[in-house]
Amino acid sequence: MLTPEARRAVEQAATEPQVFEEGFDIEASRRAARELAAAQPREDVDEVVDLDADGVRCRLYRPAGARPGAVVHLHGGGFVFHDIDVHDAAARRLANRARRAVVSVDYRRPPEHPFPAAPDDVDTVLRWIDREGAAHGLDGPLYAHGDSAGGNLALVAALRHPGRFHAVALIYPFLDPTSGFDSYRTEQHAFDLREAEWYWQQYAADPADREHPDLAPLRSDRLWTLPPTLVVTAEHDPLRDEGERLAEMLAEHGVTVVATRYLGQIHGFWRHHDVFPAAQPLMLQVVGFFEAQSA
């Protein structure tokens, strides 16, 4: 059963333009998201600075008394939407609660920059951290965090760089370009099969790319290399089953994995702590998971 706030969000989404409708304006949608985010309240963080990581724009958040290490945050938005400005408030909350620096990555997006631009940008940032991180106080354990499409990118980054991350947290990750799991047909609430397919069409300009494990990480033969991984799903999310299948596969490979399904929730709830009460405990769960791997 949907929670009351999830039900209201679904009703609101039904009144908004859909990405798969003819004439949908991608740039206008991006602009509207930035404007909405700019109007939201945000927490103070001791230091917030924009960085150029070898051509990739990033934003560094450092809370007062930051402990060693950093969280690399990869934003969601179907690969197409959102950016570090839209995720600014969420990144601030993450930094303050983790008491660690957060590096939010403004990777290139399709359709202007299809796969593999986004994962390649993450690689660039990781190389920059290896070379320049100490000068910015980023030495120490590194953690990967991402929601939705960002969860895909966080997972791919960990697979491309085995041993680089201390732990990974994936919030309802977007993993299966075939949309083949049952939840795509049973849990179409404010996010459905048509929307998912549209995102994959933008991201995978070449249909052959949908077979590549750097785009479809459930196909990877290196899942066994992952560090401790948290996989969070939402009960009424089309992506629920693919996330939970990932958790099963990691367990089968002997990876330390924790999987949590948030009951009554829909896709996207994590970022909107002012709307969804469950977003607060989820943030603390992520922070607690990272902390547990640091003990």
CA 110, CA 120: separation in Å to the nearest integer?
13
- Residue 154 near residue 168 (C-beta atoms within 8 A): yes
52 catalytic residue (yes or no): no
Give me the amino acid identity at 290. F
Please indicate whether residue 237 is annotated as part of the active site: yes
Choose the catalytic residue: 148, 189, 212, 214: 148
CB contact burial 14-44 (16+ within 10 A = b; e otherwise) = eeeeebeeeeeeeeebbeebeeebeeeeeee
Which residue of the set 83, 176, 237, 241 is catalytic?
A: 237
List the one residue out of 151, 153, 125, 150 whose CA is nearest residue 75: 150
Q: Which of 75, 87, 145, 267 is catalytic?
A: 267
Q: Is 148 designated active site?
A: yes
Token pair 């179907």 is found at 78
List, by residue number, the catalytic residues: 148, 237, 267
